[in-house]
Structure 1
Amino acid sequence: MRIAVRAGLVGVMVAGLSSVGGAADASPGTGVTGTIIARITVGGRDYILREITLQPGGSTGWHFHDGTLYVRVRQGMLSHYGATCALDNVHGPGAEFVEPSGVGHVHLGRNLGPRPVILDVVYVDPAGSPLSQDAPNPGCDFQ
C-alpha cells in the first residue's frame, strides 16, 4: 500500500481528535524536534502522525523502531545511514520511504543541508511502545 494512502487512512482515523504536542523523544540526537499531530489506538496498534524537524547540522542519533514508519519528506534533504555506516539514501522533498521495525534496522538521519528537514511520519507501533529506541553508535566516525 502506498505511503500516501496509509497516511490518508491514518488521517481519516484521527479526524476529530484534538492535537497533542510534545518534544522529541530523549535520544543522543542533536537539533531534532518532534510534534505529535494525532494518535489513535486500534486493534493493539498505535497509529501516530508526527511532524519531525531536523535543523541544519542536526542528527537523529542512532535508533530503531518497534513498529513500521511511513515517512514523507516535506522539506530539505535527509541523509540516511544504516548500521554499516554507509550512506544508504538521500531523500529530498516529496520522497516517501518506509522504516522497517526492529533492532536489526538501526539507523541515523542527518541534515547536511542549509535548511531544516521537515518530515511527516506515520508510526504504526505495538500499543504503548516508545516512538524510538536509542541504539549505540555501531562504530561510525560520525554522529
Structure 2
Amino acid sequence: MTEKFIAGRLPLAVAATLGLFATTFAAPPALAGECPNDQVAANAMAPVDTGPKGVTDDVLASIDLSSKGGDWKGNALRLRKLVVQPGGVVPWHAHDARPANILIVEGAITEYRSSCKVPIEHKAGEVTAEFGDLAHWWKNNGEKPAVLYSADILPPMESDADAM
C-alpha cells in the first residue's frame, strides 16, 4: 500500500507512530502556577506582617451589584490593574469573603500561600483563582515589573483601599 504525502500533512502511519511515541515518552504536563500536590497542607505558611511595597493598584472599572438584591446588596464587581515593581509586595490578605481571578500579563510573581509549603511562581499568561479558605501574599522576586489584572467581588463594608 502506498501512502500519499499531502503538503503540510504526515502520512497516517507516521503521525500515529509519532503520537504514540509522544504519549509514551513525554513527561506529564506540569501544573503551572499551582502548589505541587505533595506540598499542600493546612496552615502551611504563617501570615507575614508587611504593608504594600512597590505596588500600584488601579481600579479600572467597578459595578455596584446592589440592584441584584438579596445577598448581592453592597457588593461590587471590580477590575483592577496591579503593577508590582521588582522587590515589591502585595501584603498578606484572605479570600474567604472576596473571590478573585488574577491574570498575570507581564513578568512573573511569587505567591506565598497559606495552603502550600513552598512558594508558587506565576508567569505571564497564567491565571489563578482565589477563593475559600485561602490567605496569601505576593512578592516580585524578578528583575522587571509584574503586571496583573484582578477581577474580584468586593464584599460590603470593604473599601477599595482595604482590599488588595
**What's the TM-score, normalizing by structure 2?**
0.58
Larger Rg belongs to: 2
Matches for 1:1-143 after TM superposition, within 5 Å: 28-42=51-65, 43=68, 44=72, 45-65=75-95, 66-83=97-114, 86-101=117-132, 104-131=133-160, 132=162
| AA of the residue aligned to 2:146 | V
User: What CA distance in whole angstroms lies between the structure 2 residues aligned with 1:76 and 1:47?
Assistant: 26
Q: 1 or 2, which has the higher strand percentage?
A: 1
Aligned-residue offset at 1:105: 1.7
Contact 2:115 2:134 in 1 (8 A): no
| Gap runs ≥5 in structure 1 | 1-26, 135-143
User: What CA distance in whole angstroms lies between the structure 2 residues aligned with 1:68 and 1:47?
Assistant: 10
| Gap runs ≥5 in structure 2 | 1-49
Aligned-residue offset at 1:62: 1.2
**Count of residue pairs the alignment pairs up:** 106
User: What CA distance in whole angstroms lies between the structure 2 residues aligned with 1:86 and 1:77?
Assistant: 19
Aligned-pair identity in percent equals 25
Q: Larger deviation: 114-123 or 85-94?
A: 85-94
**What's the TM-score, normalizing by structure 1?**
0.65
User: What CA distance in whole angstroms lies between the structure 2 residues aligned with 1:124 and 1:133?
Assistant: 10
Q: 1 or 2, which has the higher helix percentage?
A: 2
